[in-house]
Amino acid sequence: MATLQFDRHRRLRQSANLRAMVRETRLHVDDLIYPIFVVEEKGVKREIPSMPGIYQFSLDRLNEEMDEVVQLGIKSVIVFGVPAEKDEVGSQAYCEHGIVQQAIRQIKANYPDIVVIADTCLCEYTSHGHCGVVENEQVLNDPSLELLVKTAVSQAQAGADIIAPSNMMDGFVAAIRQGLDEAGFTNVPIMSYAIKYASAFYGPFRDAADSAPQFGDRKTYQMDPANRLEAFREAESDVREGADFLMVKPALAYMDIIRDIKNHFHLPLVAYNVSGEYSMVKAAAQNGWINEKEIVMEMLTGMKRAGADLIMTYFAKDAARWLNE
């Protein structure tokens, strides 16, 4: 043993304080973006069955949720709307008095310091559940851009601080940037869902937003989960078209993509810890199979270590509570 040569890595792990001193990745409340679902009803705080702890709120009860968000120190929310009526062209998505526009105005009036992000898509508002204009069961790219621009401008007019297009139409960043600029919103940034895979992890969200496609699937516009190089092409075009943030969605099964994008692009990077990832952890925790707090904090820290600057997550309130302990 006297001549055995090896490194003593454990020297830096001897106590909690020493481990904290040399910790390379830190999760902070400022990193978290909390998704909120708003509905056009009265007196509603309705739990989403497949997402325990996540609720739909009517506007008259939205402040209950926002009070808690602010108290926990979370600085940013993303708003998803569930309209009472849908049609073929998603007209409630760009209606001046649409549910999301009303929610944005209410949040900005009551919580002016909160950064409000508007999800810019059509699937929650169309009767067919797809993210664009449909003809003969085909999602048409360019006609969809016109509606997405109208949606983004109406959200900016309502007071949204950031526009977050999630529809995966080609040219959506260029079209929305031009539309925002022409409407006088040159200072409103675009958080592009640049790399959005056609994933089975979105299932519970479709319950929350009532946005399941009524025919087919979204594989003609969202990315093939098997593709890595395609992520670079999507990110490159969005950067060229004027994106201010890039997003990878989902997160857990795509950590390699998060690292790839972080290494090659210099915009703030967002990881979306999606509904299916949330629900799996919640279900296992409710059955006593895992330690929820430790699993969640390890998972979110892993996303930051992979390269995410910000994390959009349904665990935001839980994580903020644990970080503040």
Active site residues: 196, 249
- Asked if 122 contacts 96 with a C-beta cutoff of 8 angstroms, the reply is no
Q: Are strands 138-140 and 133-135 parallel, antiparallel or unpaired?
A: antiparallel
Is 11 annotated in a binding site? The answer is no
Is 182 annotated in a binding site? The answer is no
Q: Which two tokens stand for residue 61?
A: 């009860």
Is 76 annotated in a binding site? The answer is no
Spatial CA neighbour of 139 closest among 147, 130, 148: 130
Q: Which two tokens stand for residue 4?
A: 């055995």
Q: Dihedrals φ, ψ of 302, to 5°?
A: -60, -35
Helix segments in the chain, DSSP class H: 16-21, 59-71, 99-110, 141-158, 172-182, 203-209, 229-241, 255-264, 275-286, 292-306, 316-323
Exposed/middle/buried for residue 9 (C-beta within 10 Å: 0-12, 13-18, 19+): exposed
- Asked if 80 contacts 314 with a C-beta cutoff of 8 angstroms, the reply is no
Is 15 annotated in a binding site? The answer is no
Is 314 annotated in a binding site? The answer is yes
DSSP 3-state of 284: helix
Q: Dihedrals φ, ψ of 203, to 5°?
A: -50, -55
Kindly give the interhelix angle for 292-306 and 255-264, rounded to the nearest 10 degrees: 30
Is 95 annotated in a binding site? The answer is no
Report cis status (omega within 30 of 0) of the bond before 204.
no
In the chain, what's the furthest Cα-to-Cα distance?
79
Is 123 annotated in a binding site? The answer is yes
CA distance 15 to 33: 32
Is 166 annotated in a binding site? The answer is no
Q: Residue 256 corresponds to which amino acid?
A: D
CA distance 25 to 278: 22
- Residues in binding site for Mg(2+): 234
Binding residues for 5-aminolevulinate: 206, 218, 275, 314
